[in-house]
Chain A
Amino acid sequence: MKDYAKIARLMKSDWDRRISHDYRFWMSDGYRDDEAMWESGERDFQIITEGIQQPEQKSILDLGCGVGRLLKAAVRRYRHVVGLDVSEKAVERAGKFLGENPALTLMVGNGYDLREFPDASLDVVLSFAALTSVPTDIACNYLKEINRVLKAEGVFRLQLYVGEEQMVEATDTLHLRCYREENFRRAAEAAGFAVEWVKELILPFKVSFEEIGVVASIASLRKVKVTETPAEAISVLLLPSGEMQTTRPAEEPSGSDLEGWMALKYAEELAKSGDAARAAETLEYVERYCRNITIDTSDLLGRIISTIDQKPKSPVVQVPPAPSSPVASSELYEKNLRALRDKFPKVAQLLEGTQPSGNGEIETIQTADGPVIFFRGQCLDHPQKPASGAAQWVKRTLSEKRIHDAKGVLIYGFGAGYHVEAFLGADARKIAALEPDVEVFRTALATRDLTALFPRLSALHIGPSIDDEVLDGTSELAVRPQSQAAQPKHCAEVRAQFYGSRGLNLLQPKIAVMGPLMGGTLPIAYYTSKALVDLKQRQRLYDMSGYKPGYDLFDQFIFDKVRQVQVQGQYVEMLSQLILDSVSEKPIDILICMALAPINFRALTELRKRGVITVLWFVEDYLRFTHWQSCAKYFDFIFTIQKGPCIDALKAAGAGEVHYLPVGFDPILHAPQTLTPQERERWGSPISFVGAGYHNRQQTFASLSGLPFKIWGTEWPECRPFDRMVQEKGRRLAPEEYVKIFAATDINLNLHSSTERDGVDPTGDFINPRTFELAGCGAFQLVDERSLMTELFEPGKELITFSSTNDLKDKIGYYLNRPAERRQIADRARERALREHTYVQRLRQMLSMIYSSKFEELKRRADSSAWGRMLKRAEPHPELSQRCQAAFERGDEPNLDGLVADVIAGKGKLTETEQKLMFLHHVRKQIIRMAVEEGRLKQ
């Protein structure tokens, strides 16, 4: 058994210290006063105990109750409440706050078990913001203990963090632990619980850290059996790699880096708010307990001290400006540049071809280890011990499995080069570096001798642009925290592109695209599916359009609207089940639902339980189609064609990640056409419009009746003036037909639909598919103004916009007689569209975002999938391995049928591997046939 008592003693002393210093800050998220603390306690208690019935009959334990923030809410509802905490100081204060109450018992625990409680004695156990900081081994011991003390079917509600595992020292009693959800589920099941649900914790302030993949969550566990599994085994399930071996001497009463940093930030806040006394007290706390921290604090300390004492900043040495080119003139710089020219001539050219910006964003400071660089106030290395700080980071980074297993490492952020240097010293693999800021790198050349470093680097990328070379599929990305802090946006982009690109090449998850039953989104589902094929992704299309006729028939049998909706719901339920069964037969990893795809919440929830990443591409106007309000929370990703309020609304509705992603065009289908004279006669016109007869289009186009204008599409009135404009009785056109209209028309009109406006919608934002399709076809278009247009096309150059009906008429008049000008504009639109707006590009963007966020999850899923296991197992057999890989890439299932499909269909001599596979194929067929026949014929 592990020595839990030893760590528990540290927990006890750490928390006693923190409580003595400032209980509200350390235990209760720094609420401004006690009243606010109780309010938050009430709120959090309601969240964590949601749905627990008949509390008045139940006993509840708050494990890690602190000063009793949630206990006050608990005693008002539960028959008996127990508060337990490892900190004597906290329990003492809770007693003072809550006073004598027969329904409440407060206890000081030993910090690692629940020996005070008999078996099966409690109805409910909760832990909010407590187990999250407890070392994993002890947390698992508690999990086992909670299982013991809960009655059968008893409930354990806990707050935890799920997502990317954090590198935390085993003795750290403050740092948040984050576990992979699937590991948590496994551990909980091993501890005798059924996981009822895990859902995101949403509070009025930020509690999740998406940028580092950490999601605050609440979990509900129900005791289903008494576990026999040892806590150590549960711990292995929860955190397979274990926590880092501690660098902290056992039982030393000192705080961690995090504790010191938090205390300093708090001191700064206090100083800024004018509470100099408490700020000074907090500084003393740092001085006393966090003396050994290794992170950069000097700048912060300087700011606090200057705020408190109005003292000058600590000595910062600015690089002395030289008359012409201050840095480039230095001898060191020239020496480094020469070395750079030898190994990375392009980087040297970049530096020589540009002038230092000299914008004052960069400063350097001398430390005992050497100079360090500050960028916009952020030190890019450890400000006092850059060399040892870098060495420690490298040690920590190398212990990560993904880094350990990679063939090479790309280090994000160069700074003054300490980290890169340390990495090269510790690792023989190919190491590349990326510094997003040219001036930072120029400064590094001027301040340190890097001539020995460059020859050992495999690649060096300087500047903000991210080329494909950077996205080396075999390397792993190691992000320096300082550079990430200095360039968060760029770092996120690099991450997205890096993992997105790697994902496209390496992950190859099975992606299903689910279309709607009908409507304009249906072709987008087809284009999406096709784009995935073009991107060589393993995909399948759930084309639901075949079920539309059934859906349409309901109103022939049922006339009551309410009943119609109910039956439609049942129809969707049936289709949802169809998808679930289909996924059971042919598993998928990602489901991309197009807007209005007929799938319900139950199916989405079930799919997520099975580990499927759910995605919605909402290519409709979120204000007109509002069903997202109820379904957003069932999607891990939502991509929208609108920005701003739309994204906020979707996030507020509970969507996982929300990104802007406009629609596009298919360059094979939406391409310039060569028409015969007959086709030109049939489809052509000086002015045309293709689309449905929405209200605003009818209003606007009625006034164009005097012009040579043809209207194509459905839902147009049969009355005048449309009777002479609408072509071929307003039938629906196939894309292959309407591209001919685009080609045969001088001016194609494109008016975004509106059921409310009479003409152009002045608040219109998103861009419809027609805009991209016309551009792709190389057709000239007059399109109504949209707020998102300018970032996709350049109005006036690539297309012409109009703001009103009169404006439209004027522009028609102008462009009708200017064919050359029209041609130029249309050609430019096509160039732009091909460059930026194909569905392949859209899907690449979409997948990049999904893969960058879920790379590890998908990789693990791929590795542990039947295909992953099969590909690995087949490695010793080259031909079999090759066959498996080919079948995998074809999108076949990991079964024998996939492997022999081409052998059966093919001709000629069979290789030995093929013969063996055919043997297995025949064996399976015959044995199964015999079993079936036997069963059948026995009857």
Chain B
Amino acid sequence: MKKRFPHKDKVLLVNITRLGDMLQATPTVAGMKLENPNCKISVVVEKQFESVCRLIPHIDEVISIDLSMTVRALTREGEGIVDAYEYLSDFVNELRSRKFDYCLNMSSSAYTAMLLQLVGIKRNGGWTSDEEGYRVIESEWARLFATSVFHQNRQFNSLNLVDVFRCSADVERHPDHLVIDVPEKDMEYARQMLADAKFTNRGPIISIQAGASQGKRQWAPENFVKLINLLLNKLHARVVLIGSAKEMNIIQPIKDGCNSENVFVAAGKTDIAQLAGILKQSSLLITGDTGPMHIAAAVKTPVLSMFLASAFGYETGPYGKDNLVLQPIIGCGPCNPNKSCARPDCHFHLEAEAVAALTEMRLNGPVHSIPENLVDPRKVIVFNTCFDQYGFYHQTHLTPAKYDQLDPYRTAYRKLWLDDLGGYDVGTSGSGSLLRTAPDLGNDLTKVIDCANEGVRLIGELERLVKDIASPPLLLGKVNDELTELDRQIEQVGYHIPWLGPLTRMFVFAKENISGTEALELASQMAGVYSDLGRRCRKLGTYLNN
């Protein structure tokens, strides 16, 4: 694997605001220690996640920042702003005093980027900011992260963000699951809680996380009731409803709807470690794309996960082997995570009976095939999770792949990035013959290649003019205008032809990261960006064609 900074000494991980993100970083943390056994890893997190970080092995130091307090101070206005300013100054000084030699900012937020500019760490794997306050993404893998979550590009990505994080940090060796330590006292708490639940059934313990971060990603309570009743009747299951106290408005109707002593509500009664204890003792977790899904993956409890609305299994699926991922097929999905949905039709693509059947299958062991009529393959794809030969998370179709129309693109892109960014030899065997069967696609790709070539030519012209002091400034301006127009065209291709979006967006991010003041130096960087674009186009063509 190509690495930018193979050796690391004092590492700062910035992963501030989401529990899931923190857990998804655990293979990176573990891998970093595997490859740099003597490095010291510090992590900056929001204060409320401090305790979670202490459950993660290999973290040497947890530095918490109290953002809620900071925002409260800012809301006070007046001297509150100075309070926040002083708090930040102290925090920055604290970080500076550690003299970190490497930083991986796993958050794409503008403020973490600005924080790292303030701290001034020279080597970065993720987002940072330049002196003018613009965001900078130095690592190509981190740019791929930004590219993959941009606009419609998500549907063409098959790399799990855990691996993209990991590669941003140059980590190759890593565990094939998320990692968390559950202290014995929390295990005991969970054991006692389950004992006190007084189940009358003797079947498997199945945990269910019904709540989700967004309403549109939350399967309806009546579906869960139906599912649970099936599990109770067929499997004599012991069902544990997990979640936070805030989710009781979802959980209580489910409990009431089932009306069974074999449905126990643990929601609101556990902290993260205790929840991990419950999950560790469960035979399976049924969930959406949630924090508990990652905890289950970390304690190696099998997961059946429904990726509704904006959730996309490839991107954030349960990082581990032999979990089941259900991805509805719908024209609008995966949808924009920042938009609400008044009519979540994707929910109707999943049926309780099918989920119950899959649950039963998975309880019996890893699932490598499913009955043909279990689900409608035009409405839902069922995946089994696995790892490819390079150690990257992957999903295997359990429903016929032919219904997954974008699969050839994802496969081609996967090879492209592993090859071009990772330096892996993925061979030339491709995913089909798309370009041969659809010549328009080839033409589109050729257009971008032509643009890239034109860019290289114009840069050459620009360099010649810069070196020639007698050249008229007007000519220089003309070339510059042509380059601007060319860049606009390339960017627009990504909007007009969605499957080219990942290529052009990588180009845009690369261009934004060009830095320096010397004209020739800038031109040289720019030439590299055009030639990267051309090369990647050609490679993508190969992988789509073979």
Spell out A's residues near B (CB within 8 Å): 865-867, 869-870, 872-874, 877, 880, 893-896, 899, 903, 907-910, 912, 914-920, 922-928, 930, 933-934, 936-939
Partner of B340, one of A907, A919, A926, A939: A939
Find out whether the CB atom of B71 lies under 8 angstroms from the CB atom of A923: yes
Is B183 close to A, CB under 8 A? no
24 contacts between A and B (CB under 8 A): A865-B78, A866-B77, A866-B78, A866-B79, A867-B78, A872-B79, A873-B78, A874-B82, A877-B82, A880-B82, A894-B77, A896-B77, A896-B81, A916-B85, A917-B85, A918-B114, A920-B74, A920-B85, A922-B114, A923-B67, A924-B71, A927-B67, A938-B213, A939-B340
Find out whether the CB atom of A920 lies under 8 angstroms from the CB atom of B78: no
Is B519 close to A, CB under 8 A? no
- Compute how far the CA of A261 lies from the CA of B492 in the bound complex, rounded to whole angstroms: 92
Is B118 close to A, CB under 8 A? yes
- Compute how far the CA of A907 lies from the CA of B67 in the bound complex, rounded to whole angstroms: 27
B residues near A893, Cβ cutoff 8 Å: 77
Find out whether the CB atom of B118 lies under 8 angstroms from the CB atom of A915: yes
| A926 touching B111 in the complex, CB below 8 Å, given contacts A916-B88, A920-B88, A938-B214 | yes
Find out whether the CB atom of B340 lies under 8 angstroms from the CB atom of A915: no
Find out whether the CB atom of A936 lies under 8 angstroms from the CB atom of B81: no
- Compute how far the CA of A908 lies from the CA of B214 in the bound complex, rounded to whole angstroms: 39
- Compute how far the CA of A899 lies from the CA of B79 in the bound complex, rounded to whole angstroms: 13
Listed residue (A877, A899, A924, A930) with the most chain B CB atoms within 10 angstroms of its CB: A924
| A927 touching B68 in the complex, CB below 8 Å, given contacts A877-B82, A893-B77 | yes
Spell out B's residues near A (CB within 8 Å): 17, 67-68, 70-71, 74-75, 77-79, 81-86, 88-89, 92, 109-111, 114-115, 117-118, 131-133, 213-216, 338, 340
Q: A920-B85, A923-B70 are in contact. List 10 more A-B contacts (CB 8 A).
A: A874-B82, A894-B78, A916-B85, A918-B114, A919-B115, A920-B70, A922-B111, A924-B74, A925-B110, A928-B71
Q: Considering only CB atoms, which chain B residue lies closest to A903 in the complex?
A: B133
A residues near B79, Cβ cutoff 8 Å: 866, 869-870, 872-873
Find out whether the CB atom of A937 lies under 8 angstroms from the CB atom of B88: no
Find out whether the CB atom of A915 lies under 8 angstroms from the CB atom of B214: no
Q: Considering only CB atoms, which chain B residue lies closest to A920 in the complex?
A: B84
Find out whether the CB atom of B215 lies under 8 angstroms from the CB atom of A934: no
Listed residue (B81, B84, B111, B118) with the most chain A CB atoms within 10 angstroms of its CB: B81
A residues near B17, Cβ cutoff 8 Å: 930
B residues near A917, Cβ cutoff 8 Å: 85
- Compute how far the CA of A218 lies from the CA of B82 in the bound complex, rounded to whole angstroms: 41
Find out whether the CB atom of A938 lies under 8 angstroms from the CB atom of B215: yes
A residues near B67, Cβ cutoff 8 Å: 923, 927
Partner of A920, one of B81, B109, B117, B340: B81
A residues near B81, Cβ cutoff 8 Å: 870, 894-896, 899, 920
- Compute how far the CA of A903 lies from the CA of B68 in the bound complex, rounded to whole angstroms: 24
Find out whether the CB atom of A937 lies under 8 angstroms from the CB atom of B131: no
Find out whether the CB atom of B114 lies under 8 angstroms from the CB atom of A919: yes
- Compute how far the CA of A903 lies from the CA of B77 in the bound complex, rounded to whole angstroms: 18
B residues near A869, Cβ cutoff 8 Å: 78-79
Q: How far is the CB of A117 from chain B (nearest CB, A)?
A: 44
Partner of A937, one of B118, B133, B214: B214
Listed residue (B77, B117, B340) with the most chain A CB atoms within 10 angstroms of its CB: B77
| A934 touching B82 in the complex, CB below 8 Å, given contacts A910-B132, A922-B110 | no
A residues near B340, Cβ cutoff 8 Å: 936-937, 939
Find out whether the CB atom of A915 lies under 8 angstroms from the CB atom of B74: no
B residues near A873, Cβ cutoff 8 Å: 78-79, 82-83
Q: How far is the CB of B527 from chain A (nearest CB, A)?
A: 26
Find out whether the CB atom of A910 lies under 8 angstroms from the CB atom of B71: no
Find out whether the CB atom of A907 lies under 8 angstroms from the CB atom of B132: yes
Listed residue (A903, A908, A926) with the most chain B CB atoms within 10 angstroms of its CB: A926
B residues near A907, Cβ cutoff 8 Å: 132
6 nearest A-B residue pairs (beta carbon): A866-B78, A922-B111, A937-B214, A873-B82, A873-B79, A922-B110
- Compute how far the CA of A869 lies from the CA of B132 in the bound complex, rounded to whole angstroms: 30
A residues near B110, Cβ cutoff 8 Å: 918, 922, 925-926
- Compute how far the CA of A18 lies from the CA of B75 in the bound complex, rounded to whole angstroms: 58
Partner of A939, one of B70, B109, B215: B215
- Compute how far the CA of A115 lies from the CA of B419 in the bound complex, rounded to whole angstroms: 94
B residues near A926, Cβ cutoff 8 Å: 109-111
Q: How far is the CB of B346 from chain A (nearest CB, A)?
A: 15
A residues near B68, Cβ cutoff 8 Å: 927
Find out whether the CB atom of B216 lies under 8 angstroms from the CB atom of A919: no
Find out whether the CB atom of B213 lies under 8 angstroms from the CB atom of A937: yes
Q: How far is the CB of A902 from chain B (nearest CB, A)?
A: 13
- Compute how far the CA of A870 lies from the CA of B117 in the bound complex, rounded to whole angstroms: 26
Q: How far is the CB of B338 from chain A (nearest CB, A)?
A: 7
Partner of A927, one of B71, B88, B89, B114: B71
Q: How far is the CB of A53 from chain B (nearest CB, A)?
A: 43
Q: Considering only CB atoms, which chain B residue lies closest to A921 in the complex?
A: B111
- Compute how far the CA of A925 lies from the CA of B74 in the bound complex, rounded to whole angstroms: 11
- Compute how far the CA of A919 lies from the CA of B107 in the bound complex, rounded to whole angstroms: 14
Find out whether the CB atom of B89 lies under 8 angstroms from the CB atom of A916: yes
Find out whether the CB atom of A918 lies under 8 angstroms from the CB atom of B133: yes
Q: Considering only CB atoms, which chain A residue lies closest to B211 in the complex?
A: A938
- Compute how far the CA of A926 lies from the CA of B115 in the bound complex, rounded to whole angstroms: 14
Q: Considering only CB atoms, which chain A residue lies closest to B83 in the complex?
A: A873
| A922 touching B78 in the complex, CB below 8 Å, given contacts A908-B132, A910-B131, A937-B214 | no
| A934 touching B111 in the complex, CB below 8 Å, given contacts A867-B78, A880-B82, A899-B81 | no
A residues near B77, Cβ cutoff 8 Å: 866, 870, 893-896
- Compute how far the CA of A930 lies from the CA of B337 in the bound complex, rounded to whole angstroms: 12
- Compute how far the CA of A914 lies from the CA of B71 in the bound complex, rounded to whole angstroms: 18
Find out whether the CB atom of A933 lies under 8 angstroms from the CB atom of B133: no
Listed residue (B85, B110, B215) with the most chain A CB atoms within 10 angstroms of its CB: B85
| A933 touching B338 in the complex, CB below 8 Å, given contacts A869-B79, A910-B133 | yes
Listed residue (A923, A927, A930) with the most chain B CB atoms within 10 angstroms of its CB: A923
Find out whether the CB atom of A915 lies under 8 angstroms from the CB atom of B71: no
| A909 touching B131 in the complex, CB below 8 Å, given contacts A930-B17, A939-B215, A939-B340 | yes
- Compute how far the CA of A907 lies from the CA of B79 in the bound complex, rounded to whole angstroms: 27
- Compute how far the CA of A568 lies from the CA of B85 in the bound complex, rounded to whole angstroms: 49
Partner of A915, one of B82, B84, B133: B133
Q: Considering only CB atoms, which chain B residue lies closest to A868 in the complex?
A: B78
- Compute how far the CA of A509 lies from the CA of B214 in the bound complex, rounded to whole angstroms: 46
Q: Considering only CB atoms, which chain B residue lies closest to A904 in the complex?
A: B133
- Compute how far the CA of A419 lies from the CA of B350 in the bound complex, rounded to whole angstroms: 94
- Compute how far the CA of A926 lies from the CA of B68 in the bound complex, rounded to whole angstroms: 11
B residues near A934, Cβ cutoff 8 Å: 213
Find out whether the CB atom of A919 lies under 8 angstroms from the CB atom of B118: yes
Listed residue (A908, A915, A924, A937) with the most chain B CB atoms within 10 angstroms of its CB: A937
Q: How far is the CB of A549 from chain B (nearest CB, A)?
A: 36
B residues near A909, Cβ cutoff 8 Å: 131-132
Find out whether the CB atom of B78 lies under 8 angstroms from the CB atom of A916: no
- Compute how far the CA of A920 lies from the CA of B68 in the bound complex, rounded to whole angstroms: 12
| A896 touching B111 in the complex, CB below 8 Å, given contacts A877-B82, A938-B214 | no
Q: Considering only CB atoms, which chain B residue lies closest to A911 in the complex?
A: B131
Q: Considering only CB atoms, which chain B residue lies closest to A916 in the complex?
A: B88
Q: Considering only CB atoms, which chain B residue lies closest to A933 in the complex?
A: B338
Find out whether the CB atom of A877 lies under 8 angstroms from the CB atom of B85: yes
Find out whether the CB atom of A923 lies under 8 angstroms from the CB atom of B111: yes
Q: How far is the CB of B212 from chain A (nearest CB, A)?
A: 9
A residues near B88, Cβ cutoff 8 Å: 916, 919-920
A residues near B216, Cβ cutoff 8 Å: 937
Q: Considering only CB atoms, which chain A residue lies closest to B18 in the complex?
A: A930
- Compute how far the CA of A686 lies from the CA of B399 in the bound complex, rounded to whole angstroms: 97
- Compute how far the CA of A926 lies from the CA of B113 in the bound complex, rounded to whole angstroms: 13
- Compute how far the CA of A899 lies from the CA of B214 in the bound complex, rounded to whole angstroms: 34
B residues near A918, Cβ cutoff 8 Å: 110, 114, 133
B residues near A870, Cβ cutoff 8 Å: 77-79, 81-82
Q: Considering only CB atoms, which chain A residue lies closest to B70 in the complex?
A: A923
A residues near B82, Cβ cutoff 8 Å: 870, 873-874, 877, 880
- Compute how far the CA of A930 lies from the CA of B338 in the bound complex, rounded to whole angstroms: 10
